[in-house]
Amino acid sequence: MKRRSLLLRTAGLVATASTGGLLWAPSAALAGDKAEPANSHNAYFSRLNEMLKRDGPGRPVLLIDTQRMNHNIDKIATSVGDAKSYRVVVKSLPSVPLLQHVTQRADTQALMVFHQPFLNAVAESFRDADVLLGKPMPVAAARTFYSKLGATKFNAEKQVQWLIDSQDRLLQYQALARELGIKMSISFEIDVGLHRGGLATPEALTAALAVIDADPQHLRLTGLMGYEPHLTGMQAELSHPAVREVLSIYDGFIAALKAADVSLDGLTLNGAGSHTLKIYERDNTMNDLSAGSGVVMPTDFDTFHLTQNRPAMFIATPILKRYPDNPFMAEPPANMQRLYYIYGGYWKAKMVSPTEVGETIYQSTNQSPIATSANVDLQVDDYMFLRPTQSEFVMLQFGDLLAVTDGEISSRWPVFHQTG
């Protein structure tokens, strides 16, 4: 709801007529009211609050708790195991230093990339990376990648697996490879039940393999990718019928490879994501499993197979204004008795501290009002903390990520640019 519309609708609830006060004017007690402190922040967020008041930039920031993140990386790497590759999803962790931290701790060079500018940044910074595209890119994006690659030790022919979802796109990429005089590595997206594109049948894969087989100078096969987020949230193990169906479909495409005399040695057989990766701990169908957001745990990833992972990413934003009462309501409910205005807002995020927070009054990217119970006793320049609902776009909105270790800022990690 727009702010002006909300003000008109709530004018009757605002007790200003008897006092002669103005709706947007802070009361005399705004800065000095000292209600009894109670449920403001727990010990964890109190420590972060004091750190940011002392060392923070005085604007909204995105914090990464490195110790919690390390716990999550270890959980993911353990689930993947030594017999499979852990492929780190770049869009969910869009920062070179952050990705370096994750790949080093997990001992992997496998990355999944979804955006051409990120692909060029990876080629520049991860000289030994094994990159699988996470979605089929327009051939123009592939052309742009090669035009910006420049003189680098990164070997795109061997280190980038372009994802192909149709015969038409394969022919486009073949034409580009011939035009540029290069060889392109091709992995095929297969539909294992999500119905979001990809090769629909093993027969479609057989036809595409014939194109590659006929042009070894410009094309080579590197694998398959079958994504299955429709399993998200299921309390599913390998024996679950929905999981068995996914693996049965995947096995059908593998059978098509074998029927075409394609050796599976060295091929990437990719699948999973943070939500479902743990399902496949004892599976031998896929040898390459992806995860990104599970490393930092936005709220959308509070799902069954990630219950042992810990929230490791928070938006922290300063309080700009404080009302001891809620000027929008004459008789507010218990969790909306006090009003704060934070710096910024309208993020894909949910308030995590303080916890006694009421319904949203209205959203603003400039100054968002946060209604709380009277138990919350924070002051101007204190911070409030939110958990993002996702990582991939939210992490790009705050400039450098602040890595926090033992309650102190340990590093500042630049994020990727979305163009370039």
Q: Which of 271, 286, 301 is the last residue of a domain?
A: 286
- 380 within some domain: yes
Q: Are residues 247 and 319 in the same domain?
A: no
Q: Are residues 129 and 238 in the same domain?
A: yes
Average pLDDT score over residue span 412-416:
98
- 152 within some domain: yes
pLDDT digits (tens, 9 = 90+) for 294-347: 999 999 999 999 999 999 999 999 999 999 999 999 999 999 999 999 999 999
Q: Are residues 400 and 326 in the same domain?
A: yes
- 370 within some domain: yes
Mean pLDDT of the chain: 91
- 83 within some domain: no
The candidate with the shortest Cα–Cα distance to 56, out of 417, 415, 399, 370, is 399
Q: Which of 286, 319, 335 is the last residue of a domain?
A: 286
Dihedral sign (CA 72, 76, 81, 83): negative
CATH of the domain at 171: 3.20.20.10
Q: Are residues 138 and 282 in the same domain?
A: yes
**Residue 385 belongs to what domain range?**
3-63+311-413
Structurally, how many domains does the chain consist of? Answer: 2
Q: Are residues 131 and 183 in the same domain?
A: yes
CATH of the domain at 386: 2.40.37.20
- 239 within some domain: yes
Which tokens belong to 263?
Answer: 């050796």
Gap between the Cα atoms of 383 and 317, Å rounded: 5
pLDDT digits (tens, 9 = 90+) for 346-401: 999 999 999 999 999 999 999 999 999 999 999 999 999 999 999 999 999 999 99
Neighbours of 50 (CB within 10 A): 14
- 81 within some domain: no
- 52 within some domain: yes
Query: Which pLDDT band, with edges at 50, 70 and 90, does 152 fall under?
Result: confident
Q: Are residues 136 and 185 in the same domain?
A: yes
Gap between the Cα atoms of 351 and 366, Å rounded: 17
Q: Are residues 128 and 231 in the same domain?
A: yes
Q: Are residues 125 and 255 in the same domain?
A: yes
Phi-psi label, residue 192: left if phi above 0, alpha if psi -120 to 50, beta otherwise: alpha
- 35 within some domain: yes
CB 169 within 8 A of CB 136: yes
Q: Are residues 47 and 122 in the same domain?
A: no
Amino acid 22: pLDDT: 26
Gap between the Cα atoms of 220 and 211, Å rounded: 10
Q: Are residues 207 and 277 in the same domain?
A: yes
